[in-house]
Structure 1
C-alpha cells in the first residue's frame, strides 16, 4: 500500500544530511508544508526502522492511543542487542508494556515521563525512571524553546492520502511540537488510526522512515462506577452544569457518569484537553452541538482522545471534531473565551485549607500535573464570569480512609493550590471555597467528608487553626 504512494529513498532531516540533499533551498519544519523532492524510506522491519537511534540520544514517543507500540518494542530489543547506553525516552502517558523501562533495560534506557501512565509507575517509584512536573499547556514549549532537544521522534499516523498527508489522529497534544523539533522522525503507519481535522495533519515528506504496522489502537478499560461515583456525577450534572456550558473533562468514572446524566441538557460544547466515549451519545442526541462556543464554534475541540473503537470511528474524518496542539487547547486565556466553562477534574487528596494533591499518594508518584490547573484557571477567569472550576473525588478510599485530611501525606505534591480551588464535590455534597477563610474552608470541607470522619476532622481543624471551623 505504501509502495504505491511514494518512491523510497533514505535521507535525514538533520542539518548535515539536509545540506547534502538540499544544499541551497531551506526547508520548513511546518508539518502542513510538503518538502519538495523529499520522500521517506520505507522499511518492513521494525528494528531497522529504529536503528538510527544511538547511545546518548533523546527519543520522543507519541502517547496514549497513538503509542507506536511496534516501534517502541523494537527499540527496546534493538537497544539491548546493540548495547545502547543512556538513551533518554521522553513521553506523556503511553500505552503498551513500556518494555524499555523494565529492570533488564536500565543500563540502556531511561524514561522521563511528563505524565506518568500505569506502565511507568513502578519504574518511576523504583528510581529507574524520571518524572518531570509540568503543565500540559507548557510541554510544547520545552521542545519549541529547545529546553529539551529531541534527536528522534517515534509516532503513529494514518496512511497518507492522495496528497501525501498523514494524520496524527487521536493525539496531537505535544506531539506536533516534537515533530517540528526532532532531527529524525520514524512513523508507524496504521490503517486503524483515524484521520482527524485541526492540527493533526503532517506531510509524509517530514518523515525519515515509514513502517507499515496495522494493529488495533489501545482502548480504555473502565470498570463499573461505584455508588459514590454515581452520586458525585449526579450532583455535578444537576447542580453545576448549565445549558450552554462548555465542558472539559478528564479520564475516569466520574467524568463519564457526569456525561451520562446530561441527556436533558442543551447547547453544550466541548473544549477539553481530552475526551472519551461519553461525548458520543450526547452528540447523537443533540445535547452537544457547540453552537454557543466562541472558540471554534460548532466543533468539539481536544488535543487527544482515549476510548474505544466507537470513539475512534466517531472522530474519523469528522469535520465537527478539531484536534489541536496542547499549547492552544490548554491555554487558560483561550479557554476563558468560551461560555460557562465547566471544568471537571479529579484529585487524590485535599487538606482542610483546600490544598489539592492530584499526582501522588504521599511520596509515591501516580500520574502528573496534566491540564488540571490549565482548565481550572481557564474556567475561573472566563470572560462571562460564569465558569465553574470543579474538583471531584469520593470522600474516602476503598479502605475507608478519608481523602479530606487535616494535613497532606508526607511527600504529597500540591498540584492545585488552595487559591485555585472553587468547587469540591464528594458523594455527600458540594463545598464552595472561593473567597472563604481557612476556618470557613474547613467547615465546608468537613460537611462533605464521610460522616465517620467528621468529628475527628473537626478536632484536627481546631488543633491546626486554633479556632473552631465555622460558616
Structure 2
C-alpha cells in the first residue's frame, strides 16, 4: 500500500488511522503527522531504517531510539497550515472517515484539523472507513468516489480524561475572576482546563472557538452556561465515548480545518477572545516555553501561539497562561528559560496565573513584570528569583 520514500500525511488525536500506522512506519515512508504524545503512539521498533518522521510534537521515545529518523517541526498549527497549503508536498493523505451515507458522503467525524487540506493537496487519498467514526452534523465530508483507495476498519477512537487536582482547582478559580462577560474562549486539555470547565458552569453566555474540545463543553451545555444559539467551533473533539455519542446530536458544534480555526484573520474578528493556555516554564520577562522540560523536548507549540497573539490583540480579550508554580520542587517561574526557547513572546502574554495568584503584565515595564511574576512563584523559590541577575 505504501512505497518507500513517499511522503505520507496522517492526523492524530481521534483521527488517527490506527490500522495503517505501523504499515506505513515499516514501509520506509516519510511520515508527516500531528500525532499527540500520550494519545497517539509512534512505535520506534516498527520503523524501518529508511523511515523518516516529521511531527509537530516531540515524541521522546522515538527521539531516543531513532534520533536520526525523527524531525520535530517547532511551528504553530497556523504556520503549518500555510506550509501544508503552499510549499509542503504530500504524496499520500490517509484520512479516517465514517462509512458513506446513502449519498456517498463520508464524514471526517471528530477530527478535521489538517485532514481536509492534506486530502485536497495530496496526489493520492486513502480513506480508512472506520465503523466507529461518528457522523457529526457539523463536520465536513468527502465523497467516497474521490478516494483513491479504501480500507475498512472497526477501531475504537481514543478516549481522553484527566481529573483535576487541588492545585488545578485553585488556579482555575483565579482564572475565572478575569474572564469578561460574553467571552469567546479557547482552552486546551489537561488538569487546569478541566478544572476551569467545571468552574465555568457558573457563568453564562459562553462561546468556544478552540483547537480542541472535550467532555467539558457537554457539561457546560447541561449547566446552561453556553450562549443560546451560538456556534462553537473547533478542529477536533477528544474525550469519552459518551462525548462522541453526544456530539452526533449537536449541530451547534462545528468542526473545521486549522486553516479556519487558527486563522489570524478569523480570530482577529472576535471581541473578548480569551485564550487560556499552559506552559512548562515562564521567565521573569513573561516569555513562555511550552515545549521543553528537564532539558529535553517533550511537546510542541501546538495552536497556542496563534490564539495567544489574537487574544492579546482582541478588544476586551486576554491571553492567559495558567500553570502550577512548581513541579517536583523545581520552580516553573524562572529567571531565564532553561532551553532558551520562547514558544510565546512576552508581548503575547497578558496574565500569568499560578495557585499563588495572578500577575497581570499589561502595561508593566520590565522591572514591574519581574516583581509581579516573582510574587506568584512558590514562596520557597522567591528569594532565589529575586537574587537572580
Q: TM-score, normalised by structure 2?
A: 0.94
> Structure 2 residue aligned with 1:344, among 262, 276, 279?
276
Matched, 1:65 2:6: no
Task: Identify if the C-alpha distance between structure 1 residues 290 and 248 changes in structure 2 by more than 3 Å, giving closer, same or farther.
Answer: farther
> Structure 2 residue aligned with 1:441, among 369, 376, 381?
369
> What are the superposed Cα offsets for residues 143-168 of structure 1, whole Å, 9 maximum, x if unpaired?
221x2111111121011111111111
8 A Cα contact 2:97 2:107, kept in partner: yes
SS at match of 2:331: coil
The residue aligned with 1:391 is 321
The residue aligned with 1:294 is none
SS at match of 2:8: strand
The residue aligned with 2:74 is 133
Q: Distance in 2 between matches of 1:204 and 1:65?
A: 20
8 A Cα contact 1:125 1:364, kept in partner: no
Larger radius of gyration between Structure 1 and Structure 2: 1
The residue aligned with 2:144 is 204
Instruction: State the 1:216 CA deviation.
Output: 1.4
> Structure 2 residue aligned with 1:285, among 223, 232, 238?
223
Task: Identify if the C-alpha distance between structure 1 residues 290 and 380 changes in structure 2 by more than 3 Å, giving closer, same or farther.
Answer: farther
Unaligned runs of 5+ in 2: none
CA RMSD of aligned residues (A): 1.7
> Structure 2 residue aligned with 1:250, among 188, 213, 217?
188
The residue aligned with 1:414 is 342
Task: Identify if the C-alpha distance between structure 1 residues 132 and 217 changes in structure 2 by more than 3 Å, giving closer, same or farther.
Answer: same
Q: Distance in 1 between matches of 2:132 and 2:143?
A: 18
Instruction: State the 1:243 CA deviation.
Output: 3.1
The residue aligned with 1:44 is none
> What are the superposed Cα offsets for residues 378-406 of structure 1, whole Å, 9 maximum, x if unpaired?
11222xx2101100100001x11100011
Instruction: State the 1:115 CA deviation.
Output: 2.7
Instruction: State the 1:198 CA deviation.
Output: 4.4
> Structure 1 residue aligned with 2:41, among 78, 86, 97?
97
8 A Cα contact 2:25 2:48, kept in partner: no
8 A Cα contact 1:356 1:414, kept in partner: yes
Instruction: State the 1:317 CA deviation.
Output: 4.8
Matched, 1:241 2:217: no
Matched, 1:115 2:57: yes
Instruction: State the 1:407 CA deviation.
Output: 1.6
8 A Cα contact 2:11 2:113, kept in partner: no
Which 4+ stretches in 1 moved above 4 angstroms? none
> What are the superposed Cα offsets for residues 306-326 of structure 1, whole Å, 9 maximum, x if unpaired?
111122112225311111111
8 A Cα contact 1:138 1:327, kept in partner: no
> What are the superposed Cα offsets for residues 26-58 of structure 1, whole Å, 9 maximum, x if unpaired?
xxxxxxxxxxxxxxxxxxxxxxxxx2x212110
Instruction: State the 1:236 CA deviation.
Output: 0.9
- What pairs up with 1:8-19 in 2 under 5 angstroms? none
- What pairs up with 1:158-169 in 2 under 5 angstroms? 158-169=98-109
SS at match of 2:347: coil
> What are the superposed Cα offsets for residues 412-461 of structure 1, whole Å, 9 maximum, x if unpaired?
4210011211100000011011221111011000110011111111111x
8 A Cα contact 2:18 2:155, kept in partner: no
SS at match of 1:261: helix
8 A Cα contact 1:199 1:325, kept in partner: no
Instruction: State the 1:371 CA deviation.
Output: 1.0
Q: TM-score, normalised by structure 1?
A: 0.78
> Structure 2 residue aligned with 1:359, among 277, 280, 291?
291
> What are the superposed Cα offsets for residues 92-130 of structure 1, whole Å, 9 maximum, x if unpaired?
12444323xx146241311110233xxx22213551311
SS at match of 1:414: coil
Instruction: State the 1:200 CA deviation.
Output: 2.1
Q: Distance in 2 between matches of 1:262 and 1:106?
A: 47
Q: Distance in 1 between matches of 2:194 and 2:72?
A: 28
Number of residue pairs matched by the alignment? 385
> Structure 2 residue aligned with 1:322, among 254, 261, 270?
254
8 A Cα contact 1:303 1:329, kept in partner: yes
The residue aligned with 2:83 is 142
Instruction: State the 1:192 CA deviation.
Output: 1.5
Q: Distance in 1 between matches of 2:204 and 2:95?
A: 38
- What pairs up with 1:261-276 in 2 under 5 angstroms? 261-276=199-214
The residue aligned with 2:239 is 307
Unaligned runs of 5+ in 1: 1-50, 80-84, 292-297, 465-471
SS at match of 1:306: coil
Q: Distance in 2 between matches of 1:425 and 1:391?
A: 6
